[in-house]
Amino acid sequence: MKRLGLFLAGAALALGPVLVLAQDAPESLLPPGFDKPKPKAAPKPAASATPKAAEASGPTSVSSPVVQALPSGAAQAAAPVKLPANLPSLAALEAMTPEQLDDLFGLHSRSDIPAGARRAVTRVGVLAEWEGGLPSGSLAGQNASLVGAMLAGNDGRLVSRWGHILLRRVLASRLDAPAGMNPADFAGLRAALLVRMGEGDAARALVQDVDAANYTPVLTQAALDAYAQTADVTGACPMVNLQGGVRKDPDWRVLQAICRAFSGDATNALIQLDRLQGAGVWPKIDMLLAQKYAGSAGKAARAVTIEWDGVNTLTPWRYALTVATGIEPPARLIQDPPLRYSLAAAIAPMVSLQDRAAGADRAGAAGVLSSAAMVDLYGEIYALDDISGEWSQRAEALRNAYVAAAPSDRLAAMKQLWDGAADPAARYSRLLLTAYAAARLPVEGKFAGDSGDLVAAMLAAGLDRNALRWAPQAEVGGLAWAQLALAAPQRSGAVTSGQLDDFYGNDGSAGKLRTRLLLAGLAGLGRVDSGAAAGMAGKLEVDLARQTRWTRAIDAAAAVNNQALVALLAGAGMQGDAWDKMTTVHLYHIVSALDRVGLSAEARMIAAEAVARG
């Protein structure tokens, strides 16, 4: 993928050619001794020769053949094949599918992995502690029911981009299961939550860290959902082939047929799909997509016409098979799709760049995409001449935001992108898109009016040091000042009552939401005078001391310094579609607990994001 070099002049890494020097003469590739005539066999020693006599005569030029003995020390007779007690007739056997035959004769091996290569179900995950993951024993001593409830009960829609990033890091870490919970189920619950968050790639990597022979029904379903989210249909085949007829649901039966096609039996696979279509296992459109996908596996390909008449919704497997076969769903189905399909499109390499950019407008704010990934995406759009219209214009605007000669022109290009967003989430994604362009803008008084958005853009990408350069231009009581008061790694003095009153007076958000979130963040970080906090809480009619079962749980987790448990509880408390769903009390306890367990950077970014998006 083309990098930011499409926008900025960069230094290229020159790789010098590797010179291969010819030898003076050809060199034999045979092992020593193989290029000489075979020596004549030495005469056999007399039968009466003793071992000592043979040893004294010196080594001979011929070595005796060595045959590796079996581990048991002797050859073992093959075990007799046990036939089923009630063997069906020949006609019945001929009518059976391969899966039914495997089930009948018990041919499904639980594992084809050598014993020495099998992986333990401990420390399952993809992010080690030294890579930024959490300690493996973080949840091992916790209540299994509580951990399971937090994983299964989270719908995956978090109001905070930084909260999403933190929760993803916890779920992807190499963790041991809580005592009393099946490790495969623990992996399955984590993967299922990642899928609901739109993190299909992370979920797929997580389920693939467990050998298929150790799958449980919970992990199997999570794996199916992960493969559907990433449109990796054949990725499910090792699991499907190994488990055979363990499931009889429609999705499983169709996948069995598809996997048979990619195992080299495309003809019978298409026959089975025809039978399933006749039985009405899947809707017609889905069966046609399955036949088109399976037909690409071998010489049995057939012409399949996909007709979308009467199709009004997308389903996970319908979307997966559509994009996996190189088909674009009808515009009416993806014009305003559910969030999961936008997030899937944003990172799907087989989807058109325009559709990926449309998905990025939601994936950036959600936390799925980074600023660098979004710039890469627009860089590809800019480089292609066959893309025109609004996306080409936005790519051009992004380029100007980085390389326009005058700083005022760069800011104008940024504002063009921000103001062209369709909704608040898309606007925040555009702020993220321009984060590094904002960091390059000089700090000048004439830009102070836009400092709130500039600071929000930089903090969306975690560029807190760059954002702090605007502190001298940030007017007390303004949006930039409030974000910097929260985002600064350290603050020299506490926020005063007068400063809070200034922000309150400038706050035009509904119900003074931004002031409520600012108070919660400052109190959680311990950066506000106690008297000022009490006074503003009274004005806003907020009781920061109010306790619930959730507040007591997250405070208790912070008291024992358990980062993973605090993060899971924080994720449960940040569920929602927008920041107006976040209460002052919840944000206060989230920021406070994260700060106390050493996740202060996440606490600061979440608090600053709350004010920016409130």
Pairwise CA distance, residues 195 & 507, whole Å:
37
Contact 433, 375 (CB under 8 A): yes
pLDDT of residue 110: 53
Pairwise CA distance, residues 269 & 271, whole Å:
5
pLDDT of residue 92: 73
Q: Which residues pair with 127 in a beta bridge?
A: 173
pLDDT of residue 105: 59
Pairwise CA distance, residues 554 & 589, whole Å:
7
User: On the CB side of 150, how many CA atoms lie within 13 Å of its CA?
Assistant: 25
- Please state at what angle helix 390-403 crosses helix 371-383, rounded to 10 degrees: 120
Calculate the alpha carbon distances from 305 to 208, 288, 325, 555 in Å.
Answer: 34, 8, 12, 58
* Buried residues in 52-64 as b, exposed as e (16+ CB within 10 A): eeeeeeeeeeeee
Pairwise CA distance, residues 437 & 557, whole Å:
39
Q: Which two tokens stand for residue 450?
A: 């836009």
Q: Which two tokens stand for residue 156?
A: 């995956």
Dihedral sign from CA coordinates of 596, 600, 603, 604: positive
Phi–psi pair at 562, nearest 5 degrees: -100, 100
pLDDT of residue 69: 45
* Buried residues in 502-532 as b, exposed as e (16+ CB within 10 A): bbbebbeeeebbbbbbbbbbbbbbebbbeeb
Instruction: Give the type of residue at 268.
Output: N
pLDDT of residue 89: 76
pLDDT of residue 111: 56
What is the DSSP secondary structure assignment for residue 12, as one 8-state letter?
A: -
pLDDT of residue 60: 43
pLDDT of residue 497: 96
Calculate the alpha carbon distances from 44 to 59, 405, 576 in Å.
Answer: 13, 92, 88
pLDDT of residue 137: 95
pLDDT of residue 335: 83
- pLDDT < 70 regions, the chain: 1-85, 94-113, 116, 299-301
Q: Which two tokens stand for residue 48?
A: 């009466």
State which H helix or E strand residue 391 sits in: helix 390-403
pLDDT of residue 524: 98
pLDDT of residue 43: 53
Name the pTM for this structure: 0.83
For the stretch 506-545, pLDDT in tens is: 999 999 999 999 999 999 999 999 999 999 999 999 999 9
What is the DSSP secondary structure assignment for residue 541, as one 8-state letter?
A: T
